[in-house]
Amino acid sequence: MRYLPLSDADRREMLARIGVDRIDDLFAAVPKDKLLSSPPDLPRRKGELEVERILSRMAARNVAASSVPFFCGAGAYKHHVPASVDHLIQRSEFLTSYTPYQPEIAQGTLQYLFEFQTQVANLTAMEVANASMYDGSTGTAEAVLMAHRVTRRRKAVLSGGLHPHYAEVVKTVSRMAGDEVAALPPDVPAAEDLLSAIDETVSCVVVQTPDVFGNLRDLAPIAEKAHRHGALLIAVFTEAVSLGLVRPPGEMGADIAVGEGQSIGNALSFGGPYVGLFATRQKFIRQMPGRLCGETVDADGRRGYVLTLSAREQHIRRDKATSNICTNSGLCCLAFTIHMTLLGEAGLKRLARINHANAVTLAQMLSGVPGVEVLNETFFNEFTVRLKRPAAEVVERLAERGVLAGVPVSRLLPGAGLDDLLLVASTEVNTAEDRAAFVTHLTEVLR
C-alpha cells in the first residue's frame, strides 16, 4: 500500500467516471499483437536490497563497448568522447533541469542552443536549424509531417535504404495521422528506382545517406525530380561524423536535413538518450517543429539570447501547433556543441578521414577472408558484408570469443531474407589489434 494506495472500489469509481468497464478498455488503441496476454515472468514483489542485487547481476552480464573489439553501428556509433566534454556539461552556466522560458536567468543555456543551431546548419549546409529533436527517428517522422504541411499533400515515399527503425516510426506516426506511406523494399546495392515513385501526389521523398547499408547516395537527381513535382526531399543521416567528409544534404538540394547527433559528444548509453538534428530552408521556418533560439540585444544594447520560435502545443498556438514536441534533448545538445567546438572544422574533417581510412582498411582485410563478400562500392565508416553462414549465428560465435562483430541485418529486417548480411562499422576507436582480432576469429568461425 505504500506505492499502490488505491482500493478496488477506488478503481471502479474512476473507471465509471471515465466511462469504461475495465482497465483494458483504456488500451483499446494499442494493436492486439503488441499487448501481453499475461503479466511478465517477474517476481510479484521483492525488497529494495534484493532488487538491487538482482539488477546488479543482470548488469554484470553486459559487455561494455569499450572493453572488447567493437564494430557495431546501424545508427549508434562508438566514438571517443573527450573527458573535457563530461566536465564542461556540468558547469552551472549551462546545466539546467528545465526549458529556458525566462531568458534573463537562462542566458548560458540559450547561448549554447544558439551555437548548436549554428553548428547543425553549417554541418548540413542548410539555412536554419532548430534546438534539437528527441532523436533521429522521431525527427524523421516530424520532417514528414512538416512536408505534409508545406505541400498540403499526405503521401511520403521512403527509400529502401532508410534505417528500418526510422521507417517504422514514420509509419506509426503516419498511421495515427491517416497519412499514406509508400515504403520501397530493402535496397542493399542502392540500385532502387526512386525517381519513378515521385509524382504530383507525393509530399516528400525520404532518403538516407550514408544509407543503412553504408552506401553513399547522390541526392541531387532525386531533389530535382521532387521539386519538379512540387515535393520536398528529406535527407536523413544516422552518422553525424560523416558530414565532416561527404557532401552535405543542403548542397544536394535537400529541403529538410534530419538525423542523429549521437556520434558527436554522446556515448552509446545502451541506446539513449540521443539527440535529433533538424535543419531546413529559411522559407520553411514557420513550419519547422521544435524551438528556435535567436540572438538579440537588451535595453542597454548588450547581446542576448531568447526563444524566438516555439511550436509546442502547450503554447498559445495550441491547435495551430506544428509539433507535439514538449522538450528537447538539452543535455545531449550541450555535449554535442562542446565536442564540436573542441573539434572545430579542421578537427571534424580529420576525424572523418580517420573513420573512413579505418573502415577501408577493415573492408580490405575482410574481403580476404574465405566466405566473406564486401558488398559496397562506396561507403564512409560502415559497410555490408555477405557471409556464407547466417550473420546472427556468426555474431554470437564471435561474441563468445570477445569480439562484437557488427549488427546482423536480420535483426533490423526480420523475415526479409537477408540473414546472411552483416553491417560492420569501424570508427576512430578501432585499433590495428582490434581489426586483426576480428579477421582472425571470423576466419576461424567460418571454417
Average pLDDT over residues 410-423: 97
What is residue 186's DSSP assignment?
P
Q: What is the mean pLDDT of the chain?
A: 93
Phi and psi based region of residue 191 (left: phi greater than 0; alpha: psi -120 to 50; beta: remaining): alpha
Place of cell 567528409: 245
pLDDT surpassing 60 at residue 213: yes
Place of cell 553491417: 423
Percent of the chain residues past pLDDT 90, beyond the cut: 79
Instruction: Label residue 319 by pLDDT band (50, 70, 90).
Output: low
- Per residue in 264-281, pLDDT (tens digit) is 999 999 898 999 999 999
What is residue 364's DSSP assignment?
H
Instruction: Label residue 311 by pLDDT band (50, 70, 90).
Output: low
In what helix (H) or strand (E) does residue 433 lie, and over which residues does it extend? helix 432-445
Beta bridge partners of 380: none
The grid coordinates listed for 155 are: 503521401
Residue 107 to residue 88: CA distance in whole angstroms: 16
Residue 184 to residue 196: CA distance in whole angstroms: 11
- The segment(s) of the chain belonging to CATH 3.90.1150.10 are 68-80+345-445
Of the candidate ranges 39-43, 181-185, 441-445, the one whose mean pLDDT is the lowest: 39-43
Going by their DSSP bridges, the two strands 128-129 and 155-158 should be labelled as: unpaired
pLDDT at 103: 84
Phi and psi based region of residue 83 (left: phi greater than 0; alpha: psi -120 to 50; beta: remaining): alpha
Those residues with Cβ within 8 angstroms of residue 140's Cβ, 6 or more apart along the chain or in another chain: 162, 166, 169, 170, 206, 234, 236, 258, 259
pLDDT surpassing 80 at residue 325: no
Instruction: Label residue 318 by pLDDT band (50, 70, 90).
Output: low
pLDDT at 2: 59
Instruction: Label residue 312 by pLDDT band (50, 70, 90).
Output: low
Average pLDDT over residues 104-121: 93
pLDDT at 1: 45
Residue 432 to residue 434: CA distance in whole angstroms: 5
Q: Which CATH number fits domain 83-340: 3.40.640.10, 3.40.1390.10, 3.30.70.260, 3.20.20.80?
A: 3.40.640.10
More confident residue, 289 or 310: 289
Of the candidate ranges 15-29, 43-57, 314-328, 405-419, the one whose mean pLDDT is the lowest: 314-328
Q: C-alpha dihedral over 232, 237, 241, 243, to 10 degrees?
A: -20
Q: What phi and psi, each to the nearest 5 degrees, are found at residue 157? A: -105, 125
The per-residue DSSP string of 229-264 comes to TT-EEEEEES-GGGGGTSPPGGGGT-SEEEEE-TTT
pTM of the model: 0.90
Residue 129 to residue 138: CA distance in whole angstroms: 16
- Per residue in 288-306, pLDDT (tens digit) is 998 899 999 989 999 999 9
The per-residue DSSP string of 309-358 comes to EE--TTSTTGGG-S-------HHHHHHHHHHHHHHHHHHHHHHHHHHHHH
- The segment(s) of the chain belonging to CATH 3.40.640.10 are 83-340
pLDDT at 102: 82
CATH architecture assigned to 68-80+345-445:
Alpha-Beta Complex (3.90)
Residue 102 to residue 307: CA distance in whole angstroms: 9
Q: Are the C-beta atoms of residues 65 and 78 closer than 8 Å to each other? A: yes
- Per residue in 229-266, pLDDT (tens digit) is 999 999 999 999 999 999 999 999 999 999 999 999 99
- Per residue in 133-158, pLDDT (tens digit) is 999 999 999 999 999 999 999 999 99
Beta bridge partners of 424: 383
